[in-house]
Structure 1
Amino acid sequence: MKVYRFKFEHNLPIPLAEAWDFFSSPLNLSKITPAKMNFIITSDFSADTKMYPGMLISYKVSPVFGIKLNWVTEITHVKEHVYFVDEQRTGPYAMWHHEHHFKEIKGGVQMTDILTYGIPYGIIGRLANTILVEKEIKEVFNFREKEINKLFGVYKER
């Protein structure tokens, strides 16, 4: 299995506690996911649920061609106001490891996503990644950046 890695950075003009509060709530993920993915959290969470190590989050998602898939991720690590990690337990990838890091900067917070993933099916999976998956992942993170800017404003270095 070939492993792929992306790093995305985004600065937010909000306090660290506010950023953590938003991103550590599983229900907010749907607010920053493109509608075309038909992303639905099927876990039963309340509005004040926060992530914790061992938390399982189940979703239905249609990442490609409208095909509905079940996806389960586990929150494996949490250090409040610093980082959390989600890993796929079942879903479309052979491997999915997504780190979410938060760091206070002048005038806001730097958020860094480090995504490491693998596609099943050998050469066919590598071809699918080149043609489709890599592009879709970048589109999702570009969409998230735009939505986060709408929600919190655009960071301006002071």
Structure 2
Amino acid sequence: MKTYLFTYEQNMPIPLAQAWDFFSSPLNLAKITPVEMGFTVTSPFNEQTKMYEGMIITYKITPLFGIKMDWMTEITHVKDGQYFVDEQRFGPYALWHHQHHFKEIPGGVHMTDILNYAIPYGPIGTLANAILVKKQVEKIFEHRRKAIIEMFGEYGV
């Protein structure tokens, strides 16, 4: 199985506590995901729900070609105010391991995402990544970058 590494970094002009509060709420993920992905959290959470190790989060998602899929992730590691990790338990990937790191910097927060993923179906999955999936992952994070700027402002401006 071929695995892929995607790393993304962004600075935000907000306090660490505010960044952590936003990103540690499972419901906020839909706010930074492209609308066309039809991303909906189906777990019975409310706005006060905060993540914890062992938390299972279920979603409906339309990643490609309008095909709706179920997705389940587990929050496997949490260090309050510093990082958390989500791992797919069921969904479109053969592997999904996503680290979210937060570090206080002058005037804001530096956020780093480290995503390791794999596509099922052997050589067909490798081709699908080259043609579609890698571009889709990049598009999601670019959308997220813009959404974060709209919500919190641009760092250093």
TM-score normalised by the shorter chain: which range applies?
Answer: over 0.9
**Is 2:25 the counterpart of 1:19?**
no
Q: Which runs of 5+ in 2 are unaligned?
A: none
Match of 2:63 in 1: 63
Question: Which residue identity lines up with residue 18 of structure 1 in the other structure?
Answer: Q
Q: Percent identity, aligned pairs only?
A: 65
Question: Which residue identity lines up with residue 98 of structure 1 in the other structure?
Answer: H
Cα distance in 2 between the residues matched to 1:46 and 1:12: 25
How do 1:1-158 residues align onto structure 2 when only pairs under 5 Å count? 1-156=1-156
Cα distance in 2 between the residues matched to 1:64 and 1:81: 33
Q: Which runs of 5+ in 1 are unaligned?
A: none
Q: Residue by residue, what CA displacement relative to the aligned partner does 1:71-125 show, whole Å, maximum 9, x if unpaired?
A: 0000000000000000000000000000000000010000000000011100000
Q: Residue by residue, what CA displacement relative to the aligned partner does 1:129-153 show, whole Å, maximum 9, x if unpaired?
A: 0000000000000000000000000
Cα distance in 1 between the residues matched to 2:82 and 2:39: 26
Cα distance in 1 between the residues matched to 2:75 and 2:45: 14
Cα distance in 2 between the residues matched to 1:61 and 1:100: 20
Cα distance in 1 between the residues matched to 2:37 and 2:66: 7
TM-score (norm 2): 0.99
Question: Which residue identity lines up with residue 57 of structure 2 in the other structure?
Answer: I
Q: Residue by residue, what CA displacement relative to the aligned partner does 1:3-41 show, whole Å, maximum 9, x if unpaired?
A: 000110000000000000000000000000000000011
List structure 1 runs of 4+ shifted beyond 6 angstroms.
none
Q: Tell me the number of residue pairs that the alignment of Structure 1 and Structure 2 aligns.
A: 157
TM-score (norm 1): 0.99
1:46 CA displacement: 1.2
